[in-house]
A and B are shown apart, each in its own frame.
Chain A
Amino acid sequence: MAEPVVRIENVTLDFGQGAPALRNVSGLVEGGITGLVGPDGAGKTTLIRLMTGLLLPDEGRLSVLGFDTRSEAAAVQAAIGYMPQRFGLYEDLSVAENLDLYADLRGLPPAERAEVFERLLSFTDLKRFTGRLAGRLSGGMKQKLGLACALLTKPRLLLLDEPSVGVDPVSRRDLWAMVKELAGEGIGVLWSTAYLDEAEACDRVLLLNAGELLFSGPPGDLTQQVDGRVFRLTGVGQGRRAVLAEVLGGRGIVDGVIQGETIRLVVAGGAEEKDAAITEARSRAGEGAEVRPTPPRFEDAFIDMLGGGPGGRSQLAEASPMRAAGGDEAVIEARGLTKRFGDFTAADDISFSIPRGQIFGLLGPNGAGKSTTFKMLCGLLKPTSGEGRVAGFDLRRKSAEARNQLGYMAQKFSLYGDLSVDQNLAFFAGAYGLGGARRHERTALMKEVFALSPHAGMSAKDLPLGLKQRLALACAVMHDPAALFLDEPTSGVDPVTRREFWTHINGLVEKGVTVLVTTHFMDEAEYCDRIALIYRGRAIALGSPDELRASVASPERPDPTMEDAFIALIERSRLAEAA
């Protein structure tokens, strides 16, 4: 057998803060595309930097293309191409100037440049943009340019650190196609990602979680472990959130998530156990529910491996009062929201309304206007025209009243890192005007529900990611808001924490809380009752996840995924615009 591209032997690295970044990791990277898969903070970037020889392990060794990273780092670096997470593009230089600069840095002889640039520019489809400043490129084009720069000297191994972050599904497909082509030319590719669905497209996978290697091998081998144990529960429609909570309480249920109007279930292994679990699930789901087997996904197996999801009970929701159905009035409403920056229209006449107790998703590529719309609806941005209303209050005229009714959670858990858990809770309680007994009662509840008491004195910045997420949610719902605004709440978060988060959200929605969520994460889209697809500042499609999927179904693709729907709808809009 040929020497593997990368050999990792018993590698441990401890940065001295909390748990070690990597613990006794051993594995191989072979030819083709290897996926380095794991949630944020799993140790992916650390492992890649170890492979480049920029970091050295405390224990163990790595050899890359036969060179030891400790003693022959220069040889390693000459033979690889490395694209860090935030690729070092010079935003004030044009595409061509960036290429020139990296050609200088990598010592590419001037005589060869014209030919290499020509090849890479047509490969990445950036030829039309050579004069454009790198800072003006979209997320996907930036990654393509980064890839071109990493490919200048024809590496034998290409290390890509989360190339698909901040890239919309269309560009993501392009990137994948390009990487497959490279792998076909015999270049070894390591693709790191927090998106578990990307793992399935790789030839081999290294699955990292909390610094430990959980699995190494072809993704099919892992998925196989849950073969025959994955089911879809249909016919649960409107009550699916309650049904999910109910079903997850049953014996033998490993995992359950909402997928549009259905529920995806993973049950425990063993023939008898399996049948019992399905029977119980069906009876818990109530009348009209049907259970059908469905092909397993990588994430199903990952959750199974971690010992299952967090269960379906939300103490938070149980402790929350049922919100009275206040008539038919929408809780969140956008009426012709428009925002112009100079002559650029970021959001163009966007209207929708979200009734009480629904989850509404704003979906769209980066820069399409979903953040602008979101910000106008929570009062962070003043619309150029149109109006936003929350709980019946006009955000412009009654902004303080409206803001009292909304809870907000940003992507990067905007907590005060230097303040302790208790101090963060106290601040948000105060900021929302909670005083006296009410303040005491709510903070105590939050600490109990989210199990924060053992960490009460810890600085928020030192909390593990999962606890940070809990604290951020606690701060957002402390004042029992009628509407929750979530900005990409779980991107990069590990699947168990993500399920825990959505269990709380689902529970709150059942109690009548209304949720607006932005995401470009297809899994989060599945939780929504309705979705508005925002593209080039306009809402190009509006409907339930199942409706959106159905709208793009074709004889060739009878059961499209959410991502397929996303891409097809955007293509359709592009064609319509061109016509």
Chain B
Amino acid sequence: MRILVCVKRVPAPGAKIVLTPDAQDIDASLLGFAVSPHEECAVEEAVQIVEREGGSVTVMTLGPPEAEEQLRSAVAVGATSVVLLPSDIPDWDPVSTSTALVSAISRLEDEEAPFDLILFGNESADSGGYQVGIRVARSLGRPMVTGIKGIDTEGDSVAARRETPSGWEVYRLPLPAIVGVKEGINLPRYPTLKGRMAARRAPVATMEPAESASGQSKVMLMTPPDAGSAVEILGEGPETAPAIVDIMEGLGLV
């Protein structure tokens, strides 16, 4: 099976997110970068399918030249090839992002062969727009489901499972298809040392991203006020028991 996974380089912050002084971006000077957990799972899922059935996993990203780091990480865990659409423009909204991806996908498919399956993370970890995958599917005229926590390949179709409070919804999609994957679908592996060593030498294909008009623009970022939580240490040892009982009574638990 020929699979494409689209990922996005995002900062990996701690509990408190610091913005740049112009409030246009997250201050990432002391942060590492990653892809969102959903995307990590998408890469893992693709690698597992190919390990089972053969084929190839291509991982693609639109982002700054440094996003090569995320692509190499994907190679380290089993991606076959990687494609970078390098851009120094920070403001790629869902419309322009999906346009660039569609253009690149079309080129890759023209040059080699169509992708049987394209995986996205359910949403990006930073802007969380939930749009890019769907827009790409729409442009390519392929079926798509999102929120997927299980994929079974069935010849020329895939069964995609979505978890709901009342059970699993199962969608059967004819290939080629697109799936938005959610964290929990698998447990992504860590790279092995050998994997990392191979990743270091792996070629990174680059393609100029097609530019298009944006649908939306960023005014500024704001961090929501800290909801705050107070922690009171009630004490240590058996003498703390009455205080705990008081609290439980207050909560109506006893």
- Chains A and B are bound partners: no
State the B residues within 8 Å of A (CB). none
